[in-house]
Amino acid sequence: MADLSIGTPAQMRDPDYTPPLAKAVPLGIQHVLAMFVSNVTPAIIVCGAAGFGFGSNSPDFPQMIYMIQMSMFFAGIATLIQTIGVGPVGAKLPIVQGTSFAFIPIMIPLVAGKGVDAVAVLMGGILVGGIFHACLGLVIGKIRFALPPLVTGLVVTMIGLALVKVGIQYAAGGVPAIGTPEYGSAQNWFVAGVVILVTLGLKFFTRGMISISAVLLGLIAGYIVAWAMGMVSFGSVGNAASFALPNPLHFGLEFSVAAVIGFCLMSFVSAVETVGDVSGITKGGAGREATDKEIQGATFADGLGTAVSGLFGALPNTSFSQNVGLIAMTGVMSRHVVTIGGLFLILCGLVPKIGAVISTVPIEVLGGGVIVMFGMVVSAGISMLSDVNWNRRNMVIFAIALSLGLGLQLEPDALQHLPQTLKVLATSGILPAALIAIVLNLVLPEELADESTEEISGGLAGHGAGSLPGE
């Protein structure tokens, strides 16, 4: 329920309205709390995959703290680009930017087990992909037809399915623990279970900000339990600086064909996600459709924010969907409220001790949180797929794209004879699934004849919704 003490109904729907500071500051911090965990998690996952994250005992572990720090700082910078705007860049709407989950399945094969040196390849891909993403702003209105809910829903579902394995590994003790007696121990699962149960309890049995911050509060509860069980070490906090500026080209820049192609192709997905978020904000907060200028400005800002992130050692940025729901809940459409949230994120990013504190969270605690988050990514994809007209044509497109995409993800050795670049792109599963779905959606006739899919579906397609063989 909207709080009308913040302003009149007309003011609440106005992006340019500034609420009283006493109300605006807590509202801005609310936006940060709602996205905080999701924003720093990709850095933790990528560093873990490279081999200098949690549990690795790597001398490069401080590099993960730096990447966490940059995740906060550049989420704040990208948010300000969206809310304040620079000429045509930025939607000038209350859009919260943060590190994107969508690129993780592309990044993991590029860095897997290769250490901190492999991160330079990511940064090169992020820079080029960000520039390409910004250029999409010029044509975003014209390419939306090629990305209907069948394609976008499939891609988001595939992203979630690619990540759920990470959640289970973390909850069981992390990749470095695989093969040891500690991996999958009752203690590890107990701590992860506390996070999941507290998150579910707060999500469904509370309201307002407590419900929206359920994952963050669940992690805090799990952290307290882990600390009581002696699983938390604060060694890295004392060594971290109290203030530090971003370091240009911290990880260097290296350009590989696989990284550049992968990041550019995933930019399509990220751009469409941003279009959906902009539309959701204007509908939920102002009761209107987004203008072409707002969509174009948001896409420019998305790409520019990502490109700048790559120059300083942060990961790709995108608009955060959970904040769309927060605007619909509070009814406050003010972009200046989100600007305050962006400034708070920048402040956090300038204090390495905050990143060091985050790095003390036991991997099992984070596992409980990401099981919920990645499961929600799958749910979001399935929700998008509910808008699809499930005729036989769309069933066949979805079946082929999912089978090949998920199959290649589960059995990467099936492509061992491909050149390394193609192998990295194909075994992500997401890119082949998306490309197959886009191409088939564009070239197949609108509706297949009834008899043409009976054989393929084994009779399960039926002649009406929910039909079963023999009905």
Q: How confident is the model at residue 466 (pLDDT cuts 50, 70, 90)?
A: very low
Amino acid at site 32: V
Closest to 302 in 3D by CA, of 329, 326, 274: 274
pLDDT band of residue 19 (cuts 50, 70, 90) is confident
H-helix segments, 229-334? 235-239, 257-281, 292-312, 322-330
The top-scoring range by mean pLDDT among 31-40, 58-67, 115-124 is 115-124
Query: What would the pLDDT profile of 362-407 be if each residue is shown by its tens digit?
Result: 999 999 998 988 888 888 889 889 889 999 999 999 999 999 999 9
Q: What is the DSSP letter of 101?
A: S
Write down the residue that tokens 């938390």 correspond to: 232
Exposed/middle/buried for residue 100 (C-beta within 10 Å: 0-12, 13-18, 19+):
buried
Asked whether residue 347 carries a pLDDT value surpassing 90, the answer given is yes
Residue 4: is it exposed, middle or buried by C-beta count within 10 angstroms (0-12/13-18/19+)?
Answer: exposed
Burial class (CB in 10 A: 0-12, 13-18, 19+), 125: buried
Tokens of 438: 């886009």
Q: Which residues contact 334 (CB under 8 A, 6 or more apart)?
A: 12, 14, 15, 16, 17, 18, 19, 24, 27, 94
Both tokens of 245, joined, read 């500026």
Statement: residue 455 has pLDDT above 70: no
pLDDT for residue 468? 37
- At residue 101's C-alpha, the angle toward residues 383 and 176, to 5°, is 120
Q: What is the pLDDT of residue 96?
A: 92
CB atoms within 10 A of CB 401: 25
Predicted confidence (pLDDT) per residue in 319-342, tens digit: 987 777 778 777 788 999 999 999
Determine how many CB atoms are found less than 10 A away from the CB of residue 389.
Answer: 10
Q: Which two tokens stand for residue 113?
A: 């087990």
Residue range 54-76: mean pLDDT, rounded = 91
Of 140, 116, 429, 403, residue with least CA distance to 262: 429
Quote the percentage of the chain above a pLDDT of 90: 50
Give the Cα separation of 124 and 418 in Å (integer). 23
Taking the C-alpha atoms of residue 365 and residue 198, their distance in angstroms, rounded to an integer, is 12
Both tokens of 212, joined, read 């929206």
- Those residues with Cβ within 8 angstroms of residue 118's Cβ, 6 or more apart along the chain or in another chain: 50, 110, 111
Confidence (pLDDT) at 4: 53
Q: What is the rounded CA–CA span in Å between residue 404 and residue 411? A: 10
pTM of the model as a whole: 0.85
Which of helix, strand or coil describes residue 400?
Answer: helix
How far CA 439 is from CA of 105, 276, 433, 436, in Å, comes to: 21, 22, 10, 5
Mean pLDDT over each residue of the chain, to the nearest integer: 87
| Confidence tier at 280 by pLDDT (50, 70, 90) | confident
469 pLDDT above the threshold of 70:
no
Q: Which of 93, 78, 59, 34 is nearest to 335 (CA)?
A: 93
Task: Give the model's pLDDT for residue 136.
Answer: 93
pLDDT at 97: 94
* DSSP designation for 289: P
Q: How does 185-198 read in b/e, with b if 16+ C-beta sit within 10 Å?
A: eeebbebbbbbbeb
The whole-number average pLDDT for the span 304-319 is 95
| Residue range 126-167, pLDDT digits in tens | 999 999 999 999 998 777 778 788 988 898 888 888 888 889
pLDDT tens, residue by residue, 406-428:
999 899 899 889 888 888 888 88
Q: Torsion-angle region of residue 401: left (phi > 0), alpha (psi -120 to 50) or beta?
A: alpha
Phi, psi at 249, each rounded to 5° = 50, 40
Torsions phi, psi of 317, nearest 5?
Answer: -105, 150
| pLDDT-based confidence at residue 203 (cuts at 50, 70, 90) | confident
End-to-end CA distance of the chain: 46
**468 — phi, psi (to 5°)?**
-120, 160
How many Cα atoms sit within 13 Å of 326 on the Cβ side? Answer: 25
Q: Which residues pair with 97 in a beta bridge?
A: 319
Distance CA 263, CA 47 (A): 18
pLDDT value at residue 315: 96
In this predicted structure, which of 176-185, 263-272, 284-293, 335-344 has the lowest mean pLDDT?
A: 284-293
For residues 157-184, give the mean pLDDT. 90
**pLDDT for 407:** 94
Confidence (pLDDT) at 456:
53
pLDDT in tens, 215-267: 889 999 999 999 999 999 887 787 778 888 999 999 999 999 999 999 999 99
